[in-house]
Chains A and B, each alone.
Chain A
Amino acid sequence: MQNRKIISDASGLPHNEQVKQDEAGRRLDAMIAGWALPVEVPDDPLFSERVLSMIKHHHTPPFSRTKTISAFAAAAVLAVAVGIGLGNLVDYRKNSPVPENELMFVANDLGIGMTQIDPFEYLLSDEEE
């Protein structure tokens, strides 16, 4: 059987394959060179003016003393209002006669004193029934 000699180079690829790859590489390089030609920059004498006007139009200063003080004052007023509201709510819950009355009815139903009542036990026994 005759062994066919395959010519290969340092890359280990058959000669024909290597030639093809080299050619492809050259074509890619040529394409990239065409693509990389300098881009024409159009004249635009008003460009910087336009940028500056956009900056003035959209730009907000990063720090404004007046705005910061106003924001803190508004936050403080809001905090006080929320505090007063919460305080009133707690007082209302504390002074409300409803829970105590409820317990009194329960104690009467069970025929026991107010100090002996266990509301959870009552509720559980109610559910079981």
Chain B
Amino acid sequence: MNNQLWLELIKKGDQTAFRELVEHYRPLVYRTVARFVTNSDDCSDLTQEVFIEVWRSINKFRGDSSVSTWIYRITVNKALNSVQRAKRRNWYSGLLRVPDYREPETRADETATGLLRSESAQLINQALDTLPGNQRAAFVLSQAEGLSQKEVAAVMELSEKAVESLIHRARTNLRKKLNHYYSLSN
């Protein structure tokens, strides 16, 4: 179905059209959130939150960008907020000396994506966890989702130059953080 027609129907409250949109974009949203939260339950919950937000803000969408760009934007914002919440939760649980329920060993077993099964993917994810949100978002969208710098710029509402700089800084930081891994494997 044509994107514009889809949106018009959803704006009128057509649930069938919304269901089709959800099914069409669910893989895109799930894939993206899986780069931020690696637990499969969290991925599903976050994917749901994204589509609830899509429904709520559909009337604000003016069609200046493509539907996928708009959905990517909502996804990245939701994912970054979720990462922030998780960090705060871990900080409080550290204060209260409550053991973190997500130990790295169990995280790998819990995931349904299979992504964390490889050691390098785990290392990259751990390093990405320490990057600033905008660097992480630009890196994920370009390297994992394969978006061009122009597309990433549209999603993040930044200039292409700024996106280029974010990706470069993300790579440099990853390199620094994984430096010990290189020396161990030498």
User: How many residues of B sit at the interface, in one of the four size bands?
Assistant: 35 or more
A30 and B52 CA atoms in complex are apart in Å by 37
Other-chain contact of B27, A41, A52, A55, A59 (Cβ < 8 Å): A41
Specify the main secondary structure of chain B where it touches its partner. helix
Other-chain contact of B115, A23, A27, A30, A35 (Cβ < 8 Å): A35
* B114 on interface, CB distance cutoff 8 Å: yes
Chain A residues near B40 (CB-CB < 8 A): 42
User: How many residues of A sit at the interface, in one of the four size bands?
Assistant: 20 to 34
Specify the main secondary structure of chain A where it touches its partner. helix
Chain A residues near B143 (CB-CB < 8 A): 32, 35-36
Within 8 A of A (CB), among B1-40: 15, 18-19, 22-23, 26-27, 30-31, 34-35, 40
Chain B residue at smallest Cβ distance from A62: B59
CB atoms of A28 and B171 under 8 A apart: yes
- Taking the nearest CB of chain B, how far is it from the CB of A121, in angstroms? 61
Other-chain contact of A34, B26, B120, B179 (Cβ < 8 Å): B120
CB atoms of A40 and B114 under 8 A apart: yes
List residues of chain A with CB under 8 Å of any chain B CB.
Answer: 23-25, 27-28, 30-32, 34-42, 44, 47-52, 54-55, 58-59, 62
